[in-house]
Amino acid sequence: MSHVIENKKKLVSRIRRIKGQLEAVERSLEADADCFAVLQTLSACRGGLNGLMGELVEGHITEHVMQNARSPKSSQDKAALELIKVMKTYWK
C-alpha cells in the first residue's frame, strides 16, 4: 500500500482528529450537553470521514488499479483518471 506509506503520517493524524471529535461527542452525551453542539461535532466527523475515504479510494485506484499512474498512457489508465474525477463528487 505505497500510497499509504508515503503519507501515512498525514492519514493517521486525520484519523486521530476524527477520533478526537468522536470522543468529544461521547463526553457531550455523558454530560447531557446541548444537542445541537453534539450534532455539529458529529457532522464535522462525518465530513472528515468522507474526505479520508475519498483519499484512500483515490490512492487505491492510482496505486492498485492503474498500470502506471505516473505516466498514464493506456486507455484503462485514462478511464481510471476519469473515474477519480467523477467520484470526487461523492466525498466533497
Does 36 bind a copy of itself (CB under 8 A)? Our answer is: yes
DSSP string over 18-35: HHHHHHHHHHHHHTT--H
64, 71, 72, 73: residue in contact with a copy of itself (rule CB under 8 A): 64
Nearest approach in angstroms of CB 71 to a copy of itself is: 15
The rounded distance, in Å, linking the Cα atoms of 84 and 64 is 13
Does 85 contact a copy of itself by CB under 8 A? yes
Does residue 87 belong to the site contacting a copy of itself (CB under 8 A)?
yes
